[in-house]
Structure 1
Amino acid sequence: MKAREKRSKWVTTLLLLFCLIIFLLPFYFILVNAFKPMSEIAENGFALPKTLSLDNFRNAFTRLNFANAMKNTVVVTLLSNIGGLVMGSMAGYWLARKKNKVTAFIYFVFIGSMAIPFQAIMIPFAKVAKTLHMTNSLWGLAVAFWAFTLPISIFMTVGAMKNVPIEVEEAARIDGCSSFRMFWTIVFPLIRPAVITFVIINTFWFWNDYLLTQMMLSRKALRTIQLAMQAMFNDAFYAWDTALAALTLSIIPLLIFFIILQRNIIEGMSAGSVKG
């Protein structure tokens, strides 16, 4: 029995190592070739660079207008997260505590909208955005993200509220606490793990989104990192040395974000899972 369990662990470990190698192989290719000139990439794309050079990164930084693209991406991410956090958590709390047929229907509509792909509503949404003068505006893009992130934010907040005793809120009301203050000072800290979870999920979406961002922003000065990357690839499709350095630059901020918040990511995922 012990021998069988040992063999099973070895097989599982080998399979996991194989999957890890397959997963990390593209990142290895990108990182290694980001430091090599085009001649070395053409000679052997998987070989280590003969000499480390930062010329590709300098060219990519200039061609991407990386500082401006980074600023635009950070602004959109922050604005989108703030609005999504405030509206999503408050709406989820209200739907969880005001249970009746109307709120049940509203909740069903929000959850059902998660099954609709953006491509299915892209054309009518583009017309609405143009009518409301939301295009070519970082604020307009953030408002669009608020709308599209509400379903996941509400879903996770409602789930987290199932673990918050109603007695806590009743005691606060007896002490004269208003509903608004009670939510932010008492309820919100109790559902913070779930909030952190959907904020992290949304952050990765905001940072990496291309389709909605490309539809909303057409001015060159408003390009985010993903739009700047696409524009650079269109101009230099065969300049793999510069392109791979640009990819590395676009990955680094999210990698730092993940390293800083990895503990919160794990805690949020486990604490955000709900009963019943």
Structure 2
Amino acid sequence: MKREKRVTTFIYLLILIISAVAVVMPLYMTILNSFKPYPEIAADITAFPIDFTWNNYIEAWTRLDFANSFKNTLIIAIFSNVGSVVFASMLGYWIVRHPNKFTNSVYFLIIAGMAIPFQGIMITYAKMIGLLNMGNHLMGVIVSNWVFSTPMSMFLTAGAVKSVPYEIEESARIDGCGPLKVYWQIVFPLIKGTIFTVACLNIIDYWNNYLMTQFILTKKDMRTIQIAMQSLFNEAFFAWDVALGAVSLSILPLFIFFIIAQKQVLDGVTAGAVKG
């Protein structure tokens, strides 16, 4: 019995190690080669840098206009996430706490939006953006993100609200809490773990979004990081040294965010379990 358990543990550990290597290796190779000049990259991508250099990052920062691109991307990511969390979570809460034919129909109609690929409505949506005069405005991308992230955000939030005992809300209402106060002071803290999960999923989409952002923001000074990177690759397809520096710069803010958010998600789940 003990031998079978050791074999099973070994197999699980082996699968875990292989999975970790498969995930970490591309990131490791990208960062490793971002500190090497092009001749060293061409010679051996697995070797450590001989002529360690920061020039790739300096060149990438300049050619990406990284400060401006980062500012645009950060504004879009923050306001898109805040709006998505507020609107979608409140919508999910209202639908769960007011079950009837209308809210059920609205729920399934919104959920159906997850099955529609953006490419299928891209041309129509581009015309709509033009009619609303929202082209080349960050707000156009932010509102679009609200629209397309609502189905998944609402779906996850609605599931979390179902796990919150309704008796807690009834007690709060007896004490004089209104609907908004009940949600933000009672329900929201109990589903904080799910909210942070929604925020993490959304931030990946917002930060890496290229297709929708590219046809809304066409001016050079409105570029996000992903649009600037695509432009850089088009201009210098074989400049892998600069390209790897650009990729490393683009993933660094997201990497820092997830280091911080991981602790917040775990704290939120623990707090929700204790309060529930």
Between stretches 111-120 and 54-63, larger displacement belongs to: 111-120
In structure 2, distance between residues paired with 1:82 and 1:36: 39
Asked whether the 8 Å contact 2:193–2:267 carries over to 1, the reply is yes
1:41-77: CA deviation from partner (whole Å, max 9, x where unpaired): 1111111100321011100000000000110011001
Q: Which residue of 1 aligns with 2:191?
A: 191
- 1:5 aligns with 5
Counterpart of 1:217 in structure 2 is 217
Q: How far is 1:6 from its partner?
A: 1.4
Using the TM superposition, give the Cα deviation of residue 199 of structure 1 relative to its aligned residue in structure 2, in angstroms.
1.0
Identical positions, percent: 47
Report deviation, 1:251: 1.0
Question: Using the alignment, how far apart are the partners of 1:95 and 1:174 within structure 2?
Answer: 22
Return the letter of the residue paired with 1:162: K
The structural deviation recorded for 1:37 is 0.7
CA contact (8 A) 2:190 2:271 kept: no
Contact 1:34 1:56 in 2 (8 A): yes
Please report the RMSD computed on the Cα atoms of aligned residues, expressed in angstroms. Answer: 1.8
1:244 partner letter: L
Task: Tell me how far apart the structure 2 counterparts of residues 221 and 255 of structure 1 sit (CA, whole Å).
Answer: 25
Kept in 2, the 8 Å contact 1:197–1:268? The answer is no
Task: Give secondary structure in 1 for the equivalent of 2:254.
Answer: helix
The residue that corresponds to 1:47 in the other structure is 47
Mapped pair 1:231 → 2:231:
yes
Following superposition, the deviation at residue 80 of structure 1 comes to 0.3
Q: Normalised by the size of structure 1, how large is the TM-score?
A: 0.93
3-state SS, counterpart of residue 17 of structure 1: helix
Q: Is the 1:80–1:142 Cα contact (8 Å) retained in structure 2?
A: yes
Matches of 2:269 and 2:170, distance apart in 1:
28
- For structure 2, list consecutive stretches of 5 or more residues without a partner in the other structure: none
SS of 2:115's equivalent in the other structure is coil
Q: Within 5 A, what are the aligned runs for 1:31-180?
A: 31-180=31-180
Alpha-carbon spacing, 1:57–1:261, altered in 2? closer, same or farther (3 Å): same
Q: Does 1:182 find its partner at 2:205? A: no
Q: Quickly say closer, same or farther: Cα 1:193–1:12, change in 2 above 3 A.
A: closer
Structure 2 match to 1:258: 258
Which 4+ stretches in 1 moved above 4 angstroms? 266-273
Consecutive unaligned residues of structure 1, counting only runs of 5 or more, are: none
Distance, in Å, in 1 between the alignment partners of 2:96 and 2:29 is: 47
